[in-house]
Amino acid sequence: MRSLARFFLFLVLNFLCIIYAADEKFDITAFRESVEKRIQKKILPNGLRVIVMRNTSNPTVACYLKIGVGSANEPFDRAGTAHFLEHLLFKGTPTLGTTNFKKEKPYLEQIIADGERIDSIDRILLNPLLSDKEREIIDVRKHVLENRLSRWQKGAQKYIISEEDSQAYSLAGQMGYNAYTTSDVTNYQIKLPAERLEMWADLESSRFLNPVLREFYPERKVIQEERRMRYDSRPTSLLYELFLKTAFGMSPYGKPVIGFEKSMQRLRYKETYDFFITNYIPSRMVIAIVGDVEFENTFRIIEKYFGRLKARPTPEFPPTVYEPQKGKRIAYLEAKNSPMMITGWARPSALASEDRIFEVLSRVLGDGQTSRLVDRLVIREKLAGSVKIGSTTPGDKLSTEFAIFIDAFDAALYPKIETIIAEELKRIVDEGVSQSELQKVKNRYAAEFIQVLEKNAGMADALSYYDLLLRDWRRMFTSLEEIEGVNSTQIQNLIKKYFTDSQNTTVYIKPTP
């Protein structure tokens, strides 16, 4: 099997050597066949999907676990719950993260009870019709509860071992132990020596089998501070939030992953735990394991531990849906910041047949110095410092946006920048894209894709992503084939169909002194 791994590495290196040659095409079929025969997939009785790829080039294993739950699954008044849960699920279980759970548990129960009472009071205080006398009485009650909550938290802290899972993984030789949340998914990842696979399966399955959401209220303050650092103090992040609000309104993509400033401080324990129980179900989970493993033994280990998770019904999706756009939408953010604008067009999800055409167009317009908008706006006319394009902003599983992010040198240049974007789109419609330009874009895409897949972690990330969001891990190979098949006529028709004023949303930073 090691000779097969060497062949795979040789294939990758050989490909990377030729991929930037003028118009050479990559042999997708040969690459796919070399990879596919080292991959097996199994669906556990509870619905959890497991994908294993054998790669014996080094004695490590990359483990990626994705759950099809992100900010799009939250009700608007609980925005930020999925990201908050990502934090809380690192807090341990009855046997991890505590020196004595039996003694810790009474404190946790009191913390939850008084914390819920305080959160109820905070919502009552939102009522503008309360009299001053009523507010005074409620505030006194709240102060008593806050003092009592503080005592419970100090008592529980005596038994808490912070980041015990991280310490255990570090002793086992981990690399890249991390997690992230997007609009579409929550991901947990790690790279370990191959002989530590069973340890990983035990710890990670316990995270979802019986989590203890300890330090709930201190962690809620942590994510509020994260919001202040990443959003409230960064006008560019606030502009992105404004873009989501303007483009998507009250639909699932209309909120930032981290949540809104006012809603984050009102995330409640019971609602958060209920969100976990309802949404973090085995049928929404995909595990990808890539490395020096044996198929039969790996599936046995995963079923032993993750098979303990009980199958549960598929939950309802938030009922508010995306309303089709019926006119251009414009918004401004006043901020002490250099000029920036985001302009985007409504488009279907990544499951649509046109998705790869959007991807090729994004690269024709904004990938590298020779791309059309970078060349014109940044290099030749020097109107902007950078141009970036997200062909599916902010996510893949729902109707989304083809968005262009531009750091302008002057707010007065916004109209000229928009004119140039319109001109370049029209030029493609009128003149098309040459075969040479298309092939260079396709080669660059394939090269970047293969560089990701060259590493165990990149392959595990891709396998879990494609199987979860695009319903089949083989789509990562067919997507290469689809990219290769995109032609100029398809791009021209795409622009005419989607890139109209009635489907455009544009937001600007309006710099203040």
The 10s digit of each residue's pLDDT in 273-328 is 999 999 999 999 999 999 999 999 999 999 999 999 999 999 888 767 777 788 99
pLDDT for 392 equals 97
Dihedral angle of Cα 310, 311, 313, 316, to the nearest 10 degrees: 80
Q: Measured between alpha carbons, how far is 460 from 455 in angstroms, rounded to an integer?
A: 9
Do residues 269 and 112 lie in contact, with contact meaning Cβ atoms separated by under 8 Å? Answer: yes
User: How far is the C-alpha of 127 from the C-alpha of 463, rounded, in Å?
Assistant: 49
Beta partners for residue 508, in sequence order: 332, 341
Judge whether residue 259 has pLDDT over 80: yes
- Which DSSP state fits 172? T
d(CA 138, CA 121): 7
**Tokens 């392959």 sit on residue:** 459
More confident residue, 19 or 136: 136
465 vs 298: CA distance, rounded Å:
20
What is the fold of 39-91+163-323?
Cytochrome Bc1 Complex; Chain A, domain 1 (3.30.830)
- Summary mean pLDDT of the chain: 92
Q: How many other CB atoms are found less than 10 A from the CB of residue 14? A: 10
Can you give the pLDDT at residue 478? Answer: 87
User: For residue 435, what pLDDT is reported?
Assistant: 95
C-alpha to C-alpha distance for 459 and 495, rounded to whole angstroms = 33
CATH no. of 329-511: 3.30.830.10
Domains of the chain, by residue range, sit at 39-91+163-323, 98-160, 329-511
d(CA 25, CA 484): 9
329-511 has the same fold as 39-91+163-323: yes
Q: Please answer whether residues 321 and 86 qualify as being in contact, where contact means their C-beta atoms are separated by less than 8 angstroms.
A: no
Question: Residue 26: what pLDDT?
Answer: 62
Average pLDDT over residues 484-505: 96
Report the distance separating Cα 251 and Cα 38, nearest Å.
41
**Per-residue pLDDT at 508:** 98
Are 286 and 262 a contacting pair, CB within 8 Å? no
Tokens of 281: 């179900």
- State yes or no: pLDDT of 1 exceeds 90: no
Q: What is the pLDDT of residue 29?
A: 77
Which position has the higher pLDDT, 331 or 513? 331
Average pLDDT score over residue span 378-394: 97
- 12 has pLDDT over 70: no
CA dist list (Å): 75 to 82, 240, 267, 315, 319: 11, 20, 11, 13, 9
From CA 361, how far away is CA 504, in angstroms rounded?
Answer: 17
pLDDT of 62-94, one tens digit each? 999 999 999 999 999 999 999 999 999 999 999
Instruction: Burial-class residue 33 by CB neighbours within 10 Å (0-12, 13-18, 19+).
Output: exposed
- In the chain, pLDDT over 70 holds for what percent of residues? 95
Residues in the chain: 513
Please check the confidence at residue 20 and state whether its pLDDT lies above 80: no
- Residues 450-462 have a mean pLDDT of 90
**How far apart are alpha carbons 247 and 241 in whole angstroms?**
10
